């Protein structure tokens, strides 16, 4: 890498050598000492290639607007309110104690429904033979919304995680700049220590984590 020069315009030819404090192509940031992309004998193309790769790693670039979110929340709220008209809310205790249909009892349920329907003379008049079948029909209709509901929940979780990952990666990529900038300026900003402590904890964790077994 060449020494710092007095050029005011950053080089644009991919074959031009890197120089200290040049503006990294595609950004408004200078090339600083400690930047992992800066190498002796490096070319501008090296920065451009790596900058492109970093952009490709960006998982979510939503650029949401409040009007769009207001519209989405309106639809979701309407769906929730519609479900409340027919739905049942259980307490935490109910969720852990009442039964449900599953693989362990599905055969019994189906057999019982058939027997109840086909053998009316087996039951006293006070036994409501229609109720289990009506509940089964309700369940089948209610579960039609399960796929969409789960898809919405998964999409929400995936998107939130992708945005979080992009934020962590982007802030982590600033490490060489923050390290060098704080060192050269003699900054006493307490946020620098908080920021750097994250990387120290990660290095310590990696040093104490046993390797994965083959």
How far apart CA 127 and CA 74 sit, in angstroms, is 44
The count of other CB atoms within 10 Å of the CB of residue 18 is: 22
Token duo for residue 111: 């057999």
User: Taking a C-beta distance cutoff of 8 angstroms, is the pair 18, 1 a contact?
Assistant: yes
Residues in the chain with pLDDT values less than 50: 3-11, 50-56
Token duo for residue 100: 């449900």
Q: Would the CA dihedral through 187, 188, 192, 196 be positive or negative?
A: positive
19's CB contacts (< 8 A; 6+ apart) are 1, 2, 3, 4, 5, 7, 11, 31
Rounded to two decimals, what is the model's pTM?
Answer: 0.60
User: Taking a C-beta distance cutoff of 8 angstroms, is the pair 31, 22 a contact?
Assistant: yes
Q: What is the pLDDT of residue 40?
A: 66
How far apart CA 181 and CA 187 sit, in angstroms, is 8
Q: What is the pLDDT of residue 97?
A: 95
98's CB contacts (< 8 A; 6+ apart) are 90
Q: What is the pLDDT of residue 15?
A: 74
- CA-derived radius of gyration, the chain: 31
Token duo for residue 31: 């090339």
How far is the CA of 155 from the CAs of 61, 62, 160, in angstroms? 15, 13, 8
Q: What is the pLDDT of residue 32?
A: 64
């Amino acid at each position: 890498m060449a020494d710092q020069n007095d050029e005011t315009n950053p080089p644009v030819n991919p074959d031009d050598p890197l120089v200290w404090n040049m503006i990294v192509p595609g950004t408004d940031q200078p090339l600083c000492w400690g930047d992992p992309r800066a190498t002796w004998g490096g070319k501008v193309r090296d920065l451009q290639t790596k900058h492109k790769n970093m952009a490709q790693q960006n998982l979510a670039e939503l650029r949401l607007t409040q009007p769009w979110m207001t519209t989405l929340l309106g639809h979701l709220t309407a769906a929730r309110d519609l479900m409340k008209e027919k739905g049942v809310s259980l307490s935490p205790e109910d969720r852990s104690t009442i039964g449900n249909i599953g693989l362990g009892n599905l055969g019994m349920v189906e057999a019982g429904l058939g027997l109840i329907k086909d053998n009316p003379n087996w039951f006293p008049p006070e036994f409501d033979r229609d109720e289990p079948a009506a509940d089964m029909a309700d369940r089948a209709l209610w579960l039609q919304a399960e796929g969409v509901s789960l898809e919405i929940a998964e999409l929400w979780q995936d998107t939130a995680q992708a945005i979080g990952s992009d934020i962590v990666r982007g802030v982590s990529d600033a490490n060489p700049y923050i390290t060098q900038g704080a060192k050269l300026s003699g900054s006493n900003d307490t946020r620098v220590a908080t920021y750097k402590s994250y990387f120290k904890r990660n290095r310590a964790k990696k040093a104490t984590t046993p390797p994965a077994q083959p």
